[in-house]
């Protein structure tokens, strides 16, 4: 059992750490569905690869579509508009595009399910190491480059790094898992008023993700959807209980 669970646990430890920082920033900016829209566009790129190129150019197309959405959101954030509504339109554009692309494929729905929430229980260690290297580069950019920028270029770097993160994460875990790992730990940490919300987000994300992996293993449940369900459930309860009446 330990051998089987070791790789997915290592994966979620890495995923939670890189996504927690982005989650806190997204909540601060007040554009909650940014990550979901970018993830959906990344999934659209994956669907184009699977539907039209038999899986070729998978990473290139996934990253290209994610970067396109990140650029559009960065530009939109510098304009006077209903930004959240615009991001919502990008999300439904990506979601509908996926269904159109995969509708002609005999295995379209299976691909669609894996794009939403993948079964990370059997993720190869090589994929974890590759993603770990990408996330290390992203973390270094956040630490060294991001604080030195301002205005549009700072926004563009933020959304570009988010797109790069989401591209790898969607491939490994799926759109819904990415959204939950970004929002649920950060939302709970902020709602429960932890002094250091980033480190609290790490602990919260690790807790429900590892518990979900163990539950999915013992009860033969889809791992990705179990993580999504448990993370969404715990964060919903925590936010509801900690909130005050208007």
Q: For 225-239, how does the pLDDT look when each residue is reduced to its tens digit (9 = 90+)? A: 999 999 999 999 998
CATH number, residue 121: 1.10.3470.10
Residue 3, pLDDT > 80, answer no
Q: Which range has the worst mean pLDDT, 24-28, 75-79, 179-183, 229-233?
A: 75-79
Evaluate whether residue 244 is within a structural domain: no
Query: How confident is the prediction for the chain on average, in pLDDT?
Result: 88
- Residue-level pLDDT at 109: 66
The pLDDT value recorded for residue 80 is: 82
CA distance 207 to 44: 30
Whether 245 maps to a domain, the answer reads no
Range of the domain at 218: 2-239
Three-class secondary structure of residue 124 per DSSP: coil
Tell me whether residue 102 is in a domain. yes
Residue in 216, 191, 211, 212 with CA at minimum distance from that of residue 201: 191
At residue 1, the pLDDT reads 60
DSSP state for residue 120 in the 8-state scheme: G
Which has more confidence, 188 or 50? 188
Tell me if 84 is assigned to some domain.
yes
- Please give the pLDDT value at position 21: 93
Query: CA dist 98 to 39, 87, 90, 207, Å?
Result: 12, 17, 12, 32
Q: Is residue 108 part of a domain?
A: yes
70 SS3 class: helix
In this predicted structure, the answer to whether residue 2 has a pLDDT above a threshold of 70 is: no
The number of folded domains in the chain is 1
**Predicted pLDDT at 205:** 96
For the entire predicted model, the pTM comes to 0.85
Q: Is residue 116 part of a domain?
A: yes
Residue 246 located in a structural domain: no
- Reply yes or no on whether the pLDDT at 74 is more than 70: yes
Mean pLDDT for 14-41 is 89
pLDDT above 90 as % of the chain: 46
What stretch of H or E contains 210? helix 197-219
Query: Residue 171 — very low, low, confident or very high, per pLDDT cuts 50/70/90?
Result: confident
Residue 189 lies in a domain: yes
**pLDDT at 114 exceeding the cut of 80:** no
Residue with tokens 């590759």: 130
User: Which is more confidently placed, 159 or 30?
Assistant: 159
């Amino acid at each position: 059992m330990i051998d089987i669970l070791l790789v997915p646990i290592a994966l979620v430890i890495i995923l939670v750490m890189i996504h927690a920082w982005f989650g806190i920033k997204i909540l601060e900016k007040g554009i909650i569905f940014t990550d979901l829209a970018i993830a959906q566009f990344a999934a659209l790129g994956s669907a184009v690869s699977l539907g039209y190129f038999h899986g070729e150019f998978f990473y290139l197309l996934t990253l290209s579509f994610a970067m396109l959405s990140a650029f559009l959101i960065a530009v939109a954030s510098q304009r006077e508009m209903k930004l959240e509504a615009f991001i919502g339109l990008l999300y439904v554009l990506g979601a509908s595009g996926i269904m159109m692309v995969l509708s002609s494929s005999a295995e379209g729905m299976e691909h669609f399910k894996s794009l939403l929430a993948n079964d990370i229980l059997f993720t190869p260690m090589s994929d974890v190491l590759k993603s770990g290297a990408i996330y290390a580069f992203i973390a270094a950019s956040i630490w060294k480059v991001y604080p030195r920028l301002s205005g549009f270029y700072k926004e563009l770097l933020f959304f570009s790094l988010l797109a790069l993160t989401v591209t790898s994460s969607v491939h490994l875990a799926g759109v819904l898992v990415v959204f939950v790992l970004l929002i649920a730990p950060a939302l709970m940490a902020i709602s429960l008023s932890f002094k250091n919300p980033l480190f609290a987000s790490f602990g919260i994300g690790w807790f429900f993700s590892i518990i979900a992996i163990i539950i999915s293993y013992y009860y033969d449940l889809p791992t990705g959807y179990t993580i999504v369900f448990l993370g969404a459930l715990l964060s919903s309860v925590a936010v509801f209980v900690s909130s005050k009446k208007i």
